[in-house]
């Protein structure tokens, strides 16, 4: 990518709120806060569990977090085995 | 007769006339056909119509009941939305193929017997392959060939199953079959191929991403959901389906995470969503079957919406690869918003359509006490963010800026996406509308405080997991690559085995031939020695020596006769 276009991009990008420095960290921290609020809310609502395991505090939140990380890390390992060149079948 | 006209036939016959209509009018004509067919469908009274006697069997072209109607309605809505999306597509072949394909799928759904089902089952395969070939690239051609072989193969297995089933029972009626005989087992496998069961699935991820922009949208709607319908009709409550479906919801996730081509990611994601429906069919209770049908309904809408938005990106930028995209929201904001609505629907955010349908299936699994399948479905519900609902918009429209500034999608595409988005949100906000279309009466409250809270927790923490992975650069970098899947077996292993067999046969054949040739040459040499120009038996003898030899022979004869 050529330098002039990068420069042009930065000028054009400066107009966007999310492109400014630190905005991503702000959004990231906000997500943590929202998650904390929803985790806390868990203790103020009556649940209708179908399985015993659902009674675990913040079950759905923890499940979602762990599963997401587990799946993605699992996929990284899978890639080691199944990844081939883009034109693998053409040869 | 007109009153009994099958809605699918309106599309099929209409498509045959389409090429003869002037181009300007044709676009409106193509839009009008699904609308007309929907009108006809809604006017049909429940019951069995359109019976035709053929080969000593009664074929039923129209069996109208709530299950068939629900699938018929969503198929026609999908055909209508796709027709709007394809407004820019000048090529009449693609429109005709799409209409015949949709018509065949609708015909299959209303088929009252297995032979009629078989006819339409094969017609979907033949019509739909043109949507892949229309891309006119070398990979698309070969992918289409593989697609055709597998799809037609499914039909041949279906036919074999029907023959065995008829032989055993004397009936070709298409009702509940169950895994009770070799015939029904073959039928089950045939359905399983089109439903992309694990290890029978790879035709889907192989072919859909090779289709045209318009073609992929059309393909995403019909074949697999027709198979879900067929399973719901023939094998509801078959327990093995719970496990097949549960596996389907989990294992494609890994592939979707590392796949670079976003349309292929969508194909894997489609496979996962089919798993939810298959689990619903496997549980087989009224709640579960309602869930399977509802999920097919919402899924067709949001999956088409996602294929449309990524299709628009492909149309404008010429690529659908995550590694080459990023930052497109700046110049394609509406497409980005529609994509996000599709993502919210697929990940079952409250107030979007997926929440309404997925929760029916999860509740049915919970009420049935199927803990492990339920956990697998929950895994897929949380993982959806990582493999598609956050991944796709993130890499296409946000992430690092690729510097690409394509124009916004054409108006026709935006209208089609808008329509699918409105329906997705509409179902989410007003579930009763969808509930009314389901085959069984619905006694289910979608929006309870606890349900909304737990689902939001699942998704927000899933999103947090995604963010943590991104911040720590743990999410697999999007790289152009071929990821080996089950197609490796028939694209690499089978050819390899066949090639070795060919080599062995060729070598043995060569050896045998060489030896035979040597023996033949020897034989010829021997014959030549005796009978050739200089051979003892071929020499020309002078008349004198002949007379001498005759005299010798006569002498010997004389001696023998005296001795006697």
Residue B394 has pLDDT above 60, yes or no: yes
Chain centroid offset of residue B146 CA: 11
Q: What is the pLDDT of residues B208-233, one digit of tens each?
A: 999 999 999 999 999 999 999 999 99
Residue B159 has pLDDT above 90, yes or no: yes
Q: Comparing B555 with A22, which gets the higher pLDDT? A: B555
Residue B398 has pLDDT above 80, yes or no: yes
Q: What are phi and psi of B378, to 5 degrees?
A: -65, -35
Residue A7 has pLDDT above 60, yes or no: no
Residues of chain B with C-beta less than 8 angstroms from the C-beta of A42: 453, 457
C-alpha B377/C-alpha A20 separation (Å) is: 39
Indicate the pairing of strand B47-54 with strand A83-84: unpaired
Q: Do B403 and A5 touch (CB under 8 A)?
A: yes
Which DSSP string do the residues of B362-399 spell out, in sequence order?
Answer: HHHHHHTT-HHHHHHHHHHHHHHIIIIITHHHHHHHSS
Residues of chain A with C-beta less than 8 angstroms from the C-beta of B485: 82
pLDDT of residue A2: 37
Q: Are B332 and B397 in contact (CB under 8 A)?
A: yes
Does B400 contact A at CB distance below 8 Å? no
Q: What is the pLDDT of residues B281-307, one digit of tens each?
A: 999 999 999 999 999 999 999 999 999
Q: Do A78 and B258 touch (CB under 8 A)?
A: yes
Burial class of B1 by CB neighbour count within 10 A (0 to 12, 13 to 18, 19+): exposed
Place B24 in a pLDDT band, splitting at 50, 70 and 90: confident
Choose among B255, B363, B454: nearest Cβ to A60: B454
pLDDT of residue A15: 63
Any residues with CB less than 8 A from the CB of B433 and at least 6 apart, and which?
B426, B427
Residues of chain A with C-beta less than 8 angstroms from the C-beta of B460: 31, 34-35, 38, 61, 64
Residue A59 has pLDDT above 80, yes or no: yes
Q: Do A63 and B469 touch (CB under 8 A)?
A: no
Residue with tokens 């998650």: A35
C-alpha B89/C-alpha B410 separation (Å) is: 11
Q: Name B173's bridge partners.
A: B113
Mutate to test the interface with A, among B255, B382, B384, B466 (most CBs of A within 10 A): B382
Does B255 contact A at CB distance below 8 Å? yes
A6-20, B56-70, B177-191, B406-420: least confident range: A6-20
pLDDT of residue A50: 87
C-alpha B8/C-alpha B398 separation (Å) is: 41
Residue A11 has pLDDT above 80, yes or no: no
pLDDT of residue A6: 42
Q: What is the ipTM of this complex?
A: 0.85
C-alpha B282/C-alpha B292 separation (Å) is: 10
Residue with tokens 């069961």: B197
Residue B441 has pLDDT above 50, yes or no: yes
Mean pLDDT for the stretch of residues B53-72 = 91
Residue in A closest to B374 by C-alpha:
A51
Q: What are phi and psi of B57, to 5 degrees?
A: -120, 155
Q: Name A83's bridge partners.
A: B483
pLDDT of residue B2: 66
Q: Are B406 and B332 in contact (CB under 8 A)?
A: yes
Q: Do A79 and B258 touch (CB under 8 A)?
A: yes
Domain locations in chain A?
1-45, 48-91
Mean pLDDT for the stretch of residues B258-280 = 96
Does A45 contact B at CB distance below 8 Å? yes
pLDDT of residue B1: 47
pLDDT of residue A4: 39
Q: What is the pLDDT of residues B338-376, one digit of tens each?
A: 999 999 999 999 999 999 999 999 999 999 999 999 999
The per-residue pLDDT of chain B, averaged, comes to 94
CA atoms within 13 Å, Cβ hemisphere of B363: 23
A9-23, B146-160, B356-370, B424-438: least confident range: A9-23
Percent of chain B with pLDDT over 70: 100
Place A12 in a pLDDT band, splitting at 50, 70 and 90: very low
Mean pLDDT for the stretch of residues B59-63 = 92
Neighbours of B233 (CB within 10 A): 22
Q: Which two tokens stand for residue B523?
A: 């034989």
Percent of chain B with pLDDT over 90: 85
């Amino acid at each position: 990518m050529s330098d002039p276009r990068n420069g042009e991009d930065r000028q054009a990008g400066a107009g966007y709120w999310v492109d400014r420095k630190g905005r991503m960290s702000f959004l990231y921290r906000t997500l943590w806060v929202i998650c904390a609020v929803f985790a806390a809310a868990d203790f103020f609502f009556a649940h209708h569990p179908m399985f015993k395991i659902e009674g675990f505090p913040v079950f759905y939140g923890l499940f979602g977090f762990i599963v997401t990380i587990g799946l993605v890390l699992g996929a990284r390992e899978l890639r080691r085995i199944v990844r081939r060149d883009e034109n693998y079948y053409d040869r | 007769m007109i009153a009994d006209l099958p809605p699918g036939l309106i599309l099929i016959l209409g498509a045959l006339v389409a090429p003869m209509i002037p181009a300007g009018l044709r676009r409106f004509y193509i839009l009008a056909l699904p609308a007309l067919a929907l009108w006809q469908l809604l006017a049909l009274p429940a019951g069995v119509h359109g019976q035709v006697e053929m080969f000593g069997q009664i074929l039923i072209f129209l069996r109208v009941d709530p299950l068939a109607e629900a699938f018929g309605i969503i198929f026609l809505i999908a055909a209508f939305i796709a027709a709007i999306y394809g407004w820019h597509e000048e090529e009449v072949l693609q429109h005709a193929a799409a209409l015949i394909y949709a018509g065949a799928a609708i015909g299959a759904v209303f088929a009252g017997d297995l032979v009629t089902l078989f006819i339409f089952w094969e017609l979907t395969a033949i019509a739909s392959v043109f949507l892949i070939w229309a891309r006119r690239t070398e990979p698309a051609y070969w992918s289409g060939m593989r697609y055709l072989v597998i799809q037609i193969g499914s039909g041949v297995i279906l036919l074999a199953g029907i023959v065995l089933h008829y032989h055993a029972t004397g009936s070709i009626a298409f009702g509940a079959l169950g895994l009770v005989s070799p015939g029904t087992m073959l039928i089950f496998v045939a359905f399983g191929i089109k439903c992309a069961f694990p290890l029978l699935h790879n035709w889907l991820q192989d072919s859909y991403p090779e289709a045209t922009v318009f073609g992929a949208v059309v393909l995403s709607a019909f074949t697999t959901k027709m198979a879900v319908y067929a399973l719901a009709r023939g094998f509801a409550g078959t327990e093995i389906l719970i496990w097949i479906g549960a596996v389907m919801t989990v294992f494609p996730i890994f592939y979707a995470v590392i796949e670079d081509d976003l349309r292929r990611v969508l194909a894997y994601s489609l496979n996962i969503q089919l798993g939810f429906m298959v689990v619903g069919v496997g549980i087989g209770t009224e709640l579960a079957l309602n869930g399977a049908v509802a999920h097919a309904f919402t899924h067709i809408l949001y999956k088409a919406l996602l294929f449309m938005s990524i299709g628009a990106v492909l149309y404008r930028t010429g690529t659908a690869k995550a590694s080459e995209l990023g930052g497109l929201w700046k110049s394609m904001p509406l497409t980005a918003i529609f994509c996000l609505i599709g993502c919210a629907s697929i990940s079952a955010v409250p107030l979007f359509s997926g929440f309404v349908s997925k929760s029916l299936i999860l509740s049915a699994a919970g009420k049935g006490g199927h803990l492990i399948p339920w956990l697998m479905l929950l895994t897929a519900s949380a993982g959806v963010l990582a493999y598609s609902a956050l991944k796709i918009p993130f890499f296409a429209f946000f992430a690092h800026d690729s510097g690409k500034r394509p124009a916004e999608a054409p108006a026709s595409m935006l209208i089609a996406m808008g329509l699918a988005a409105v329906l997705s949100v509409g179902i989410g906000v007003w579930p009763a509308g969808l509930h009314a279309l389901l085959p069984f009466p619905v006694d289910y409250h979608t929006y309870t405080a606890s349900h909304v809270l737990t689902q939001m927790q699942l998704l927000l923490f899933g999103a947090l997991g995604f963010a943590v992975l991104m911040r720590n650069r743990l999410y697999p970098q999007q790289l152009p690559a071929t990821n080996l899947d089950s197609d490796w077996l028939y694209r690499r292993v089978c050819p390899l085995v066949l090639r070795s067999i060919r080599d062995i046969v060729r070598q043995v054949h060569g050896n045998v031939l060489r030896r035979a040739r040597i023996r033949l040459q020897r034989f010829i040499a021997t014959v030549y020695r005796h009978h050739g120009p200089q051979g003892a038996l071929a020499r020309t003898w002078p008349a004198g020596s002949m007379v001498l030899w005759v005299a010798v022979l006569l002498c010997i004869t004389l001696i023998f006769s005296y001795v006697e």
